[in-house]
């Protein structure tokens, strides 16, 4: 395929070269294609970029490749914080982006209503299971250096599930790509008096946290 494409590209150039000397642009084009062919032979991962009628290929950045990764849940700290063994062997704390469960501080005065129930629900849902972590392009870590991620269990959006079942608040201080969806899920949970929105707890306004952006 590569040989065919090169023949299509350089057949006109070869004919033209017999009549006129090659320009600097021609030399640059040849070098670019040679570099591309060399990279493909080495098995490097690439992505296709379309520019008008032209198509060229570039190496995928490591940052783009790491927007989504998998891991196994080792522990659940509370309804929005977990410990994950990533597929690269590293262990990271993970904070559910956009979903804030009531704070659980070991029975101290800082513990908020429905915090234990939220932890138990998340534990039952994902502990010991393989999950997918998706990064929002605007957020990397929270103030405690935990990864801020959308957590996915198979086809289930765990962050959204916690909100719609009344185990977590939709964070209204941090705008992200699922913001509107999470706000709608919280509204529905409120109207149905689910979980922390029931008579057991009275939250007004709902607590939320702000995150640093890297």
What's the sign of the alpha-carbon dihedral 119, 122, 123, 128?
Answer: negative
- Proportion of the chain above pLDDT 70, given as a percent: 62
Query: Has this prediction a pTM greater than 0.75?
Result: no
75-89, 107-121, 128-142, 152-166: the lowest-pLDDT one: 107-121
pLDDT at position 75 is 97
Asked whether the predicted pLDDT for residue 178 surpasses 60, the reply is yes
Asked whether the predicted pLDDT for residue 99 surpasses 90, the reply is yes
Asked whether the predicted pLDDT for residue 21 surpasses 60, the reply is yes
Q: Count of CB atoms within 10 A of residue 38's CB?
A: 10
Name all domains of the chain by residue range, CATH numbers in brackets: 2-60 (no CATH), 65-197 (2.40.50.90)
Mean pLDDT of the chain: 78
pLDDT at position 33 is 57
Cα diameter, the chain: 87
pLDDT at position 112 is 87
pLDDT at position 46 is 42
pLDDT at position 26 is 63
pLDDT band at 134; cut points 50, 70, 90: very high
Asked whether the predicted pLDDT for residue 47 surpasses 60, the reply is no
Q: Where are the beta strands (DSSP E) in 30-125?
A: 46-51, 54-59, 68-78, 81-86, 91-96, 99-100
């Amino acid at each position: 395929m590569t040989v065919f494409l090169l023949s299509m590209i350089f057949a006109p150039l070869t004919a033209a070269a017999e009549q006129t000397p090659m320009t600097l642009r021609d030399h640059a084009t040849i070098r670019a294609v040679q570099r591309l062919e060399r990279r493909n032979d080495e098995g490097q991962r690439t992505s296709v970029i379309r520019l008008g009628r032209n198509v060229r290929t570039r190496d995928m950045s490591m940052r783009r490749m790491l927007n989504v990764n998998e891991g196994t849940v080792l522990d659940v700290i509370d309804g929005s914080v977990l410990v994950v063994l990533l597929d690269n062997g590293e262990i990271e704390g993970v904070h559910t982006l956009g979903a804030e469960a009531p704070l659980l501080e070991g029975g101290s005065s800082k513990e908020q209503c429905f915090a234990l129930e939220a932890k138990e629900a998340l534990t039952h849902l994902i502990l010991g299971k393989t999950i997918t972590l998706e990064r929002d392009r605007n957020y990397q870590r929270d103030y405690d250096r935990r990864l801020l991620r959308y957590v996915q269990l198979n086809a289930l959006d765990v962050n959204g599930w916690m909100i719609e079942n009344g185990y977590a608040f939709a964070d209204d201080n941090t705008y992200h790509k699922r913001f509107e969806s999470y706000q709608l899920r919280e509204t529905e949970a409120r109207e149905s008096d689910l979980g922390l929105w029931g008579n057991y707890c009275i939250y007004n306004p709902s607590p939320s946290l702000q995150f640093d952006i890297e």
